[in-house]
Structure 1
């Protein structure tokens, strides 16, 4: 078995032995927002990029899929590395890659290079959430007290708010500097993370080495998930072999991991932790709906409603506001069941409201739809994040957090498949209504999953 490393504070940055070191919040929150901001900005950049390179919108969707594929595979891998070696080195290396990806995207001469930049962004943004969850848990061990609820709330609020504000920010960047500005923004963000990460993150001392990582498990996991997600990007009979590859690799992964003393995926623990597995599944379902709104509504506002990218981005500000407000108001309460019930119900309501939209819909109705989509954005993210914090093995908190993000990106990938099927070449009103029917079914499933999970009612009730 691996001896878990112990964190040691930098001697020039002493922390109180009794309270959470709030100086950690700056690098934590800065890195946590890197992925949602890049996920959201692209929502209003896809159509301008497709037009700039003269490619169909379906081809430009690889800018979304490529990032999610890289991040879905990378998050739990990086999380396990953080569990073994601590947060500092993975944080600095990967946030540095975000800056490199920003430069590459800003200078990209064609769509292929731009897709490569997005994949690199996906890898670079893998550190933020696992590092943050690791630090929250390690601070709880150091102080002997559970971390204050405000820290977990801040983590969720920032991620949700930035995801919601991203389309508006993207619209503003496109207005000021064209779509390339949406890549250039990563350069100052990466520098900010590198500066505060180098100054404030703790060093780690322990006996773990690079050999401690279960590389066969990592490769098999990455291969199985990649094959499955690649099929989701193009779900046709001619691509069915990818599903076969995914199944074979998954079976081999189960056999290999069950024989290891310290596996990358501790399947014995995961299979025995049904509440945690239910949280991953519920999170995936919630994000199928959430990302379908994020991308689908932004695309329809431009194609179906005839708005500019900047105007489409601004009209999603109510979504951001609703997300921030509800997460902030409910974040101090440790109970999560009520949050998830309300969040799931509002996803059903928002999906139904899509059926009321048409090419001449007024701004007021668009605002109402955005607000109804923003409420679950804040509640579901906060509730599922706090569920993982309570349900996961403390020794594997970073890897468990990474798997939560993987479930989110699988949901995001699934949403991109749904959007490609319902919209086709253009985001028409008819396509938007087809999307509404699909989301009503998915959101309804989400309601049943929350109501039927009795374990959620015990979290925060003690």
Structure 2
């Protein structure tokens, strides 16, 4: 990866970028969370048969990883800023290896759930620490913007998330569901070796603090209040069909306590004053939530409709949705290579309206080619939405807080995922019908209009090329 810089007298000097050796381990570490999020989808029934458990029990294998990730990503980002990003990155990889090994030999479902929690915590270190590593590299190499590396991280997450579902099915068919846990072990070994060999060491502790002064203690109460707030919020949003108002009230109380505590703490875990003053960053988090609410409604709601109304098998649905995921990665490549931030956000907003308009025409007799074509529009939403919003967070967050900021971006991604499951449940009820799909589509169209309304003001403040 090389970047050209214009110099006097018409000559062009080559400025070395981070390079593939620097980028590859970061891509691998950042990809472990999305791949573990999706790879288990095709194995839940087999796991239930092994442990004689129903869907209500096996679904915890999905929700616990989401919960651990939503809490863990900003926490790992904060630890990376304080303890050193490479150190936390490698520690996360080791935890992923432990979780994968435990899941491989798990004798019962509770042990398997514990393995998924460990996987959620371990994989949470990948993305925010990678962002801190890239930010520190960029600070030392100002002539070589890291846009290509940021794009590579986003595309790697998209590709692995798309491949997780078919990969899980193939692995489970070949060697049983336990292989979907074991696959983490060799990936972790490879990741640790590449990181130790190619990623620069963390600076000594004295260099990480101002004038060598001792760092202030970690904001443990803030971390605990943040974890409680996110956990109660996710559980409340998970079933709006039967809302548990006590959980909603608890969320409000914990959020109020979190804000009050963080406002009076010298070195807060979540700088609420910064978020209140940095309206551009707060708007980016809103865009992230809306973008992934749209995306997950298609991934989960449309696939359920295809199975129940169109009668497609799980493999057939996967093959029909796969072009959307592949197109998301392909359309991202030119935007990532040229660091086109604002165009990515504008195209995302436009596709968020065009896609739902097309979905309104869907019925149980819609031709397959039309289904594929419209779903590819949503590939623009998922692909360019990640590219644009990731670059926005990178630009808008303070340099010293980029780890927490990147982690919070992933937290809002999971909020979108949980909200999508509630919207799907409210719209479909007991069965995915054409009417239910259209109800979801109308809601998505409204969200797309909101996304179009809020994108221009936020995009205008961004640099065209970070």
Q: Aligned residue for 2:397?
A: 392
**1:86 Cα offset (Å):** 1.0
Alpha-carbon distance between aligned partners in 2 of 1:435 and 1:238, rounded to the nearest angstrom? 19
Q: Deviations over 1:344-374 (max 9, x none)?
A: 2213332333344444554323321331221
**1:215 Cα offset (Å):** 0.6
Q: Aligned residue for 1:203?
A: 202
Relative distance call for 1:222 and 1:454 in structure 2 (3 A) is closer
Q: How does 1:436-447 map to 2 (within 5 A)?
A: 436-447=441-452
Higher relative contact order (CA 8 A, sep 6+): 1
**1:142 Cα offset (Å):** 1.6
Q: Aligned residue for 1:320?
A: 325
Q: Which moved more, 1:230-239 or 1:373-382?
A: 230-239
| Cα RMSD, aligned residues only | 2.8
Relative distance call for 1:461 and 1:74 in structure 2 (3 A) is closer
Q: Deviations over 1:3-43 (max 9, x none)?
A: xxxxxxxxxxxxx9965354221210001111111223244
The 8 Å contact of residues 347 and 443 in structure 1, kept in 2 or not, is answered as yes
Q: Which moved more, 1:254-263 or 1:106-115?
A: 106-115
Of residues 228, 246, 249, the one that matches 2:251 is 246
**1:413 Cα offset (Å):** 1.6
**1:229 Cα offset (Å):** 1.1
**1:432 Cα offset (Å):** 3.2
Q: Aligned residue for 2:121?
A: 123
Q: Aligned residue for 2:382?
A: 377
TM norm structure 2: 0.86
1:291 partnered with 2:290: no
TM norm structure 1: 0.87
Q: Aligned residue for 1:216?
A: 221
**1:48 Cα offset (Å):** 5.5
Relative distance call for 1:332 and 1:399 in structure 2 (3 A) is same
Q: Aligned residue for 2:75?
A: 77
Q: Aligned residue for 1:302?
A: 307
Q: Aligned residue for 1:161?
A: 159
The 8 Å contact of residues 44 and 298 in structure 1, kept in 2 or not, is answered as no
The 8 Å contact of residues 65 and 416 in structure 1, kept in 2 or not, is answered as no
Q: Deviations over 1:127-164 (max 9, x none)?
A: 11111111111111222335332111111111122222
Of residues 60, 63, 70, the one that matches 1:62 is 60
Q: Aligned residue for 1:459?
A: 463
Count of residue pairs the alignment pairs up: 446
Q: Aligned residue for 1:404?
A: 409
Alpha-carbon distance between aligned partners in 1 of 2:227 and 2:75, rounded to the nearest angstrom? 9
**What residue ranges of structure 2 are gaps of 5+ in the alignment?**
1-13
Alpha-carbon distance between aligned partners in 1 of 2:447 and 2:55, rounded to the nearest angstrom? 25
Q: Aligned residue for 1:8?
A: none
1:275 partnered with 2:274: no
Alpha-carbon distance between aligned partners in 2 of 1:147 and 1:173, rounded to the nearest angstrom? 39
**1:457 Cα offset (Å):** 5.0
Q: Aligned residue for 2:140?
A: 142
Q: Aligned residue for 2:24?
A: 26
Alpha-carbon distance between aligned partners in 1 of 2:312 and 2:48, rounded to the nearest angstrom? 17
Q: Aligned residue for 2:170?
A: 172
The 8 Å contact of residues 39 and 163 in structure 1, kept in 2 or not, is answered as yes
Q: Aligned residue for 1:188?
A: 186
Alpha-carbon distance between aligned partners in 2 of 1:34 and 1:79, rounded to the nearest angstrom? 16
Q: Deviations over 1:273-294 (max 9, x none)?
A: 1100100111011111111222
Alpha-carbon distance between aligned partners in 2 of 1:381 and 1:268, rounded to the nearest angstrom? 26
Alpha-carbon distance between aligned partners in 2 of 1:388 and 1:432, rounded to the nearest angstrom? 33
Relative distance call for 1:230 and 1:293 in structure 2 (3 A) is same
The 8 Å contact of residues 147 and 465 in structure 2, kept in 1 or not, is answered as no
The 8 Å contact of residues 231 and 243 in structure 1, kept in 2 or not, is answered as yes
- Give the secondary-structure state (helix, strand or coil) at the position aligned to 1:33: helix
- Give the secondary-structure state (helix, strand or coil) at the position aligned to 1:204: coil
Q: Deviations over 1:95-152 (max 9, x none)?
A: 2222232233344455544433332221111111111111111111222335332111
Relative distance call for 1:242 and 1:355 in structure 2 (3 A) is same
**What residue ranges of structure 1 are gaps of 5+ in the alignment?**
1-15
The 8 Å contact of residues 85 and 204 in structure 1, kept in 2 or not, is answered as no
**1:52 Cα offset (Å):** 6.4
The 8 Å contact of residues 173 and 182 in structure 1, kept in 2 or not, is answered as yes
- Give the secondary-structure state (helix, strand or coil) at the position aligned to 2:240: coil
Q: Deviations over 1:44-83 (max 9, x none)?
A: 4456556766666565443332211111111111101001
Alpha-carbon distance between aligned partners in 2 of 1:103 and 1:260, rounded to the nearest angstrom? 39
The 8 Å contact of residues 74 and 126 in structure 1, kept in 2 or not, is answered as yes
Q: How does 1:343-382 map to 2 (within 5 A)?
A: 343-359=348-364, 361-382=366-387
